[in-house]
């Protein structure tokens, strides 16, 4: 499945959360990652994030799409990274 992950976490935890996301997905822009994951990979990612985030202060949202081809993505302006399939 194709997954879009976004987060809004306390600045004290941003680096740790970004590092965990980077192990599974591709950085798109600040606090936004996307990539192709299996159910097991998504479960591992969420389990790792649960050990870092504070649910009273932080928020992580995952949008799962069964197939990358069923949505359109429009990028306006400069973009740093284009997701690839290196995983």
Task: Please write the tens of the pLDDT for every residue from 20-35.
Answer: 999 999 999 999 999 9
Of the listed ranges 21-35, 44-58, 69-83, the one predicted with least confidence:
69-83
pLDDT over 50 (residue 86): no
Can you read off the two tokens belonging to residue 2?
């194709």
Answering whether pTM is above 0.85, one says: no
Fold classification of 2-67 is: Alpha-Beta Plaits (3.30.70)
Helix H or strand E segment including 76: none
Instruction: List residues bridging with 32 in a β-sheet.
Output: 6, 29
Where along the chain do its domains lie? 2-67
DSSP conformation class of 64: E
pLDDT over 60 (residue 84): no
């Amino acid at each position: 499945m194709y997954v879009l992950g976004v987060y809004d976490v306390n600045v004290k935890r941003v680096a740790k959360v970004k590092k965990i996301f980077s192990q599974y997905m591709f950085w798109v822009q600040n606090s936004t990652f996307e990539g192709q994951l299996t159910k097991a990979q998504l479960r591992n990612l969420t389990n790792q994030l649960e050990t870092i985030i504070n649910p009273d202060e932080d928020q992580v949202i995952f949008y799962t799409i069964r197939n990358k081809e069923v949505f359109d993505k429009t990028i306006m302006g400069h973009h740093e990274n284009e997701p690839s399939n290196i995983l």
